[in-house]
């Protein structure tokens, strides 16, 4: 019992080890089909060379790991020279369910590609049906098979196998089924077969097992260190962004305070005097995008136009003296258009009541030069 327990423990360890380093397979992965044929003779009581009998068979199987698998096999025996009491072509039919063990992978490990030469054990139970009996009626017997496949892996992708298999098959009970089940060499036959096997392509794109992409602990530790470093960098960036957000908030507050000044002195700039609506929209240097804080004066103009249905407002854009004149002319026009778009889309003021004009560069609207980056409003209906 102790030896059996040690053997089972070693087998379980082999199953675990052989499955750990390969990619997980699906139900119909690592399937194969093959044919074989050769000669057999009864183990005792007959002349081996003169009483050889031909056989041929079919084998279908699956490998669950690079070490262990199962197969179903059926072989037909076409001559039974020691028994000559009828003339049927197929004398015996033996069908077995076999376990398979790749000893090369068990003891040598699986490296991701089959070896050119491997040794595989086959073993299992079956059922033998005889068409050739002394009493002229068919008989049956349970069988046990033990064999060794000397295997050569062929093809560019190792999808083919050629093997030579010596084996022995025991009839476990007498053909009448009454005798005690036992392994008795006197009720056995030996055979030497050769066969070809084709291994089907699996979900991994290969005809064989492929190794899983494992990472060692040192590599994992290195990746964790990189992740922690990136997290620290991110924290630094967050702190910098928070500082910039605070600076932007301060600037927006200063801009809002400037907009809330009670008097904005507007000087005449070579145009006919028109009614000037006091709210102005300030822009950042070189920009025509409206800052969120600048929608307050635009909303005042929208409210004015709702309260005065006949009002028609001209929006004038200006630029401060920095930069070249051509760019500032386009910039002043873009600022006026941006304010018009906001009045139309956000506050639903009819576009027909709004006109725009790019005034180009000025430094005379306000004493503070930066305040001249503005858009102003004029009611032309008055």
Transcribe 23-58 into DSSP letters: PPP-TTTTEEEEEEEEEEEESSSS-TTTT-EEEEEE
Q: Is the pLDDT of residue 257 over 60?
A: yes
Does the pLDDT value for residue 265 go beyond 50?
Answer: no
Percent of the chain with pLDDT over 90: 34
pLDDT of res. 266: 44
Instruction: Give the per-residue pLDDT at 271.
Output: 44
Q: How far is CA 147 from CA 47, 280, 376, in A?
A: 21, 98, 100
Is residue 134 within 8 Å of 84, Cβ to Cβ?
no
Q: Residue 43: is it exposed, middle or buried by C-beta count within 10 angstroms (0-12/13-18/19+)?
A: middle
The percentage of residues in the chain with a pLDDT greater than 70, rounded to a whole number, is 83
pLDDT of residue 374: 81
Name the pLDDT band for 382 (thresholds 50, 70, 90).
Answer: low
Is the sign of the CA dihedral 331, 337, 343, 346 positive or negative? negative
Q: What share of the chain is helix, strand, coil (3-state, %, to 5)?
A: 30, 35, 35
Within 13 Å and on the Cβ side, how many CA atoms surround 299?
Answer: 5
Top-confidence residue, 251 or 290: 290
Highest mean pLDDT among 29-38, 235-244, 301-310: 29-38
Q: What pLDDT does residue 86 have?
A: 57
Residue 3 has pLDDT above 60, yes or no: no
> Given the structure tokens 């070490």, which residue do they identify?
67
Decide if pLDDT at 175 tops 70. Answer: no
What band does 135 get if pLDDT is binned at 50, 70 and 90?
Answer: low
Confidence of residue 277 (pLDDT cuts 50, 70, 90): low
How much is the average pLDDT of 35-50? 85
**pLDDT tens digits along 334-358:** 989 999 999 999 999 999 998 999 8
Write out the E strands in the chain: 31-42, 53-63, 68-77, 92-102, 117-130, 139-154, 160-171, 188-199, 275-282, 313-319, 354-361, 374-379
CA distance 288 to 286: 7
Tell me the average pLDDT of the chain. 82
**Per-residue tokens: 104:** 């090369």
pLDDT at 146 over 90: yes
Q: Quick one: pLDDT band at residue 264, thresholds 50, 70, 90?
A: very low
Contacts of 291 (CB under 8 A, 6+ apart): 252, 255, 282, 283, 284
Taking alpha carbons only, the member of 357, 290, 359, 283 closest to residue 328 is 359
The pLDDT of residue 88: 73
**When comparing pLDDT for 325 and 274, which is higher?**
325
Rounded to a whole number of angstroms, the distance between the first and last alpha carbons of the chain is 113
Distance CA 277, CA 304 (A): 9
pLDDT the model gives residue 170:
93
């Amino acid at each position: 019992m102790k030896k059996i327990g040690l053997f089972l423990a070693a087998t379980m360890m082999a199953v675990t080890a052989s499955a750990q380093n390969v990619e997980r397979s699906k139900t119909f992965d690592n399937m194969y089909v093959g044919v074989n044929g050769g000669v057999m003779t009864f183990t005792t009581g007959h002349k081996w060379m003169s009483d050889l009998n031909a056989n041929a068979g079919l084998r279908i199987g699956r490998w669950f790991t690079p070490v262990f698998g199962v197969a179903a096999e059926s072989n037909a025996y076409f001559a039974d020279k020691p028994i000559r009491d009828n003339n049927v072509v197929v004398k015996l039919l033996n069908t077995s369910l076999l376990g398979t063990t790749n000893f090369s992978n068990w003891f040598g490990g699986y490296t991701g590609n089959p070896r050119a030469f491997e040794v595989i054990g086959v073993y299992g139970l079956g059922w033998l049906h005889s068409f050739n009996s002394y009493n002229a009626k068919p008989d049956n017997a349970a069988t046990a098979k033990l064999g060794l496949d000397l295997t050569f892996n062929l093809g560019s992708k190792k999808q083919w196998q050629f093997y030579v298999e010596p084996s022995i098959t025991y009839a476990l009970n007498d053909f009448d089924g009454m005798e005690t089940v036992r392994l008795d060499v006197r009720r056995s036959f030996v055979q030497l077969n050769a066969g070809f096997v084709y291994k089907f392509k699996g979900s991994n794109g290969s005809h064989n097992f492929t190794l899983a992409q494992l990472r060692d602990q040192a590599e994992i530790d290195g990746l964790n260190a990189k992740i922690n470093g990136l997290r620290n960098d991110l924290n630094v960036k967050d702190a910098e962004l928070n500082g910039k957000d605070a600076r932007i908030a301060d600037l927006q507050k200063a801009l809002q305070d400037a907009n809330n000044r009670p008097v904005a002195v507007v000087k005449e700039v070579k145009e006919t005097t028109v009614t000037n609506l006091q709210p102005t929209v300030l822009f950042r240097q070189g920009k025509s995008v409206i800052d969120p804080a600048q929608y307050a004066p635009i909303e005042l103009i929208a409210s004015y136009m709702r309260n005065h249905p006949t009002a028609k407002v001209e929006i004038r854009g200006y630029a401060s003296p920095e930069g070249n004149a051509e760019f500032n002319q386009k910039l002043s026009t873009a600022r006026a258009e941006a304010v018009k778009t906001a009045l139309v889309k956000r506050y639903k003021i009819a576009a027909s009541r709004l006109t725009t004009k790019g005034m180009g560069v000025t430094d005379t609207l306000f004493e503070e030069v930066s305040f001249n980056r503005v858009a102003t409003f004029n009611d032309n209906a008055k």
